[in-house]
Amino acid sequence: MSKLFAKKSISTLLQEAEDSEKGLKRTLNSWALIALGIGAIIGAGLFVRTAAAAAQNAGPSVTIGFIVAAIGCALAGLCYAELSSSIPISGSAYTYTYATMGELLAWVIGWDLVLEYAVGAATVGIAWSEYLNNFLTQILHLAPIPYQWCHSPFQTSVDGVSGIVNLPALGIVSLISLLLIKGIQESAFVNNIIVILKVSIVMLIITLGWGFINPENHTPYIPAATQYTDHDGITYHFGGIMGILGAAGTVFFAFIGFDAVSTAAQETKNPSKSMPIGILGSLAICTVLYILFAHVLTGLESVDFFRDPNKGGEASVSAAIQSAMPGYSWLSKSVTIAILAGFSSVILVLLLGQSRVFYSMSKDGLLPKVFSDIHPTYKTPYKGNLAILVLVAAFAGFVPGNVVGHMTSIGTLFAFMLVCIAVIVLRKTEPNMPRQFKTPFVPVVPILGVIACGAMIFGLGAENWIRLIVWLIIGFVIYFGYSKKHSKVNNPK
């Protein structure tokens, strides 16, 4: 039993962080990390999940859901900032858990991070596919991609057409994976350009759309507690406290990404200083933009509009602008272009995070060596990127977006809870370890982080709890079948 909870020593981790000559190349600074965080955060969550949460859970009080989600993220972000500056090595929550709670829980969190990064990238790839059709029809005035070739086999259109495979989602995931293989510096440069573009569009929507807000759409701001069943037969808690918690769990997807910054610690020039700035800076900027954006979007159109699959379903932001802001068709078109670019940067950062987590797990022997093989020229884990491409493509091409979106949210929330606990444990077990950034008010802040994230998991409902449990069971089968036997900590040479 003791082998299951064997820990990786802090001294070993710090030695690995210093030994960068044989591994990943250090090229990123604080501003690059903030841009990386914003690049990951502003994307499908904001442009797709906001309308979904308003329609299914909370109506205009989706803004309160954003505040709840932001509080949970801020509490977890403070914990991430301490750990990433103290243990500046690839692997994020997986590495922190290995050092504090042992191998079994490290495996659990590493496997769980697949839900955040790989499945998250698939979710955004699916959203990218939806907006591509909007781009083809509204801007280029071409025929849309046939339904069956841009939807999963588990989806059926209102006309009765069944999906086969989501080819656009497969294509964008493949393209971004090849860019990541080329190098982190090139990827960061492309990301910076996209960040400037999509932040500008978000600010335009807020400033121009504010004058078109219809107060009736915000009345009542918190709807009475009822239940809502969508056209697929799925029932949600709508309104009241449960509606707001459900909205928080849904829009939480919009915040996923700031923690992905911590996976690039081993590629950062001064991680002890830059990591806290990158994590907390990107989170703070996006939180303000999110609350303002949600207020404007729900003011432009009614809940019934966003519930209509032909209006507020796919490409909901563009549809709302076209409907409620006459004379601003150019903004609707700009949104579509910015969203396509913005989704691409989100996929980039999530795939980056997944490859670096698998890189760390492979270096520890918990995954095959292929995931930590470094390209001799590009200095990237190229074989791992290709393997992850296959995994993400399977989700993007064959699983509906609403399913993978909720799987991503619940997996990430669970990871955040373990990161908060890791701070408390590490303060007890390694009290004298140098900490460039300290989480304030420990253990109060980490405990509040666990409670806030747990409340959002509760709001996502039993169906998603079951999916998480099934996912973890699959992970245990892999761990006891392969990882435990090959662990370098438990099987030293």
Other CB atoms closer than 10 Å to residue 411's CB: what's the count? 28
Is-above-0.95 flag for pTM?
A: no
Extract the tokens encoding 380: 């990237």
Closest CA to 338 of 204, 194, 210, 208: 194
Q: Can you tell me the distance from the alpha carbon of 457 to that of 379, in angstroms, rounded to the nearest whole number? A: 38
E-strand spans in 121-171? Answer: none
Q: How far is CA 308 from CA 232, 247, 311, 312, in A?
A: 12, 18, 5, 6
Local structure of 462: helix, strand or coil? helix
Cα-Cα end-to-end distance for the chain: 20
Per-residue pLDDT of the chain in tens (493 residues, 90 and over written 9): 457 778 877 777 666 656 544 455 666 777 788 877 787 677 667 887 888 899 999 999 999 999 999 888 889 888 887 887 777 665 567 877 887 788 988 898 888 888 778 888 888 888 888 888 888 887 888 888 998 898 888 887 777 888 899 999 989 998 888 887 776 566 667 767 877 888 888 899 999 999 999 999 999 999 999 998 877 677 888 999 899 988 988 888 778 767 767 666 666 777 777 777 888 888 888 889 999 999 999 999 999 999 887 766 557 888 899 899 998 988 888 888 877 887 887 788 788 878 878 888 898 899 998 888 887 877 778 888 888 888 888 888 887 766 776 777 888 888 889 889 989 988 998 888 777 778 889 999 999 999 999 988 888 878 888 888 998 999 999 999 999 999 988 877 6
Residues 6+ apart with CB under 8 A from 218: 60, 298, 299
Q: What would the pLDDT profile of 416-454 be if each residue is shown by its tens digit?
A: 898 899 899 889 988 887 777 788 899 999 999 999 999
Residues 6+ apart with CB under 8 A from 327: none
Q: Can you tell me the distance from the alpha carbon of 423 to that of 442, in angstroms, rounded to the nearest whole number? A: 8
Q: What superfamily would CATH give domain 24-225+237-486? A: Amino acid/polyamine transporter I (1.20.1740.10)
Q: Are 307 and 234 within 8 A, CB to CB? A: no
Closest CA to 99 of 381, 321, 428, 399: 428
Q: What is the DSSP string of 280-322?
A: HHHHHHHHHHHHHHHHHHHHHS-HHHHH-IIIIITTHHHHHHH
Q: What would the pLDDT profile of 368-412 be if each residue is shown by its tens digit?
A: 988 888 878 777 788 888 888 888 888 888 877 667 767 778 888
Write b or e for each residue in 449-459: b if 16 or more Cβ atoms lie within 10 A of its Cβ, otherwise e. Answer: bbebbebbbeb
Local structure of 154: helix, strand or coil? coil
E-strand spans in 111-163? Answer: none
Q: Can you tell me the distance from the alpha carbon of 178 to that of 347, in angstroms, rounded to the nearest whole number? A: 12
Q: Can you tell me the distance from the alpha carbon of 199 to that of 209, in angstroms, rounded to the nearest whole number? A: 15
